[in-house]
Amino acid sequence: MRSDTLRVLLWRRALDPHLGRWSLPGGRLRPDEDVEASIRRQLAEKVDVRQLKHVEQLAVFSAPDRVPGPRVVATAFLGLVPSDVDPEIPEDTEWHDVSELPRTAFDHESIVLRARDRLRSKLCYTNLGFALAPEEFTVSALRRLYSAALGYRVSATNLQRVLSRRGLLLPTGHTAPPGRSGGRPAALFSFAGKGMQITDPFAVFRPPTGK
């Protein structure tokens, strides 16, 4: 993702059915690998994405008519790439804003939206922000990441308070370069943990009324 939008990586299908439509990278499971190893391999081979900070199984999609022809059952995964990573991708592959998806193959739009909802949920009660953020960041930059992922503006003050209370933010002792307007340099932080943990029994970030 970029700091202002949540994006998903899609590539154009080169074969029927749904020739030319945008689809999620995927493929068949080899006899000698588990599902997570398979998805990491296929992302690396097909779209040259290797810098995944977090991977988790999302859901199994098994509707009988989800793919024309012989029945295909898909196991979908949520994989997160930090906002400061910009991997080289093939010409037939593009990052798309989740809020403005193109026409997709099969049920891939539903899969993307399920992944978006899972991410939003996990950000509210876990430390999963570590998988979106660069190694060092300002609170303001982190607020933009959370706002983009959650779909509404998050208060920087509240975000810092919540994450500090959880013990997730570590001051690095560094500061960001001053902006054009000058002023005091902003402090840089890092996440305390690099593996997902449940940090609150209940969701702590909720959209404003009407969202």
What pLDDT score was predicted for residue 19? 95
- Whether residues 109 and 133 share a domain: the answer is no
What pLDDT score was predicted for residue 177? 86
Predicted confidence (pLDDT) per residue in 106-146, tens digit: 999 999 999 999 999 999 999 999 999 999 999 999 999 99
- Whether residues 106 and 147 share a domain: the answer is no
What pLDDT score was predicted for residue 200? 85
Last residue of a domain, one of 124, 152, 181: 124
Predicted confidence (pLDDT) per residue in 37-58, tens digit: 998 898 888 887 888 899 999 9
- Whether residues 131 and 118 share a domain: the answer is no
- Whether residues 102 and 47 share a domain: the answer is yes
- Whether residues 137 and 119 share a domain: the answer is no
> What residue numbers bound the domain in which 178 lies?
126-191
What pLDDT score was predicted for residue 209? 62
- Whether residues 107 and 19 share a domain: the answer is yes
* Domains held by the chain: number: 2
Residue 131 lies in a domain: yes
- Whether residues 104 and 147 share a domain: the answer is no
- Whether residues 166 and 82 share a domain: the answer is no
- Whether residues 80 and 138 share a domain: the answer is no
Last residue of a domain, one of 124, 149, 164: 124
What pLDDT score was predicted for residue 182? 65
Last residue of a domain, one of 109, 124, 139: 124
169-175 and 54-61: which strand pairing? Answer: unpaired
- Whether residues 107 and 47 share a domain: the answer is yes
To the nearest whole percent, how much of the chain has pLDDT over 70? 95
Residue 205 lies in a domain: no
- Whether residues 159 and 79 share a domain: the answer is no
Q: Which residues of the chain have pLDDT under 70?
A: 1-3, 180-182, 209-211
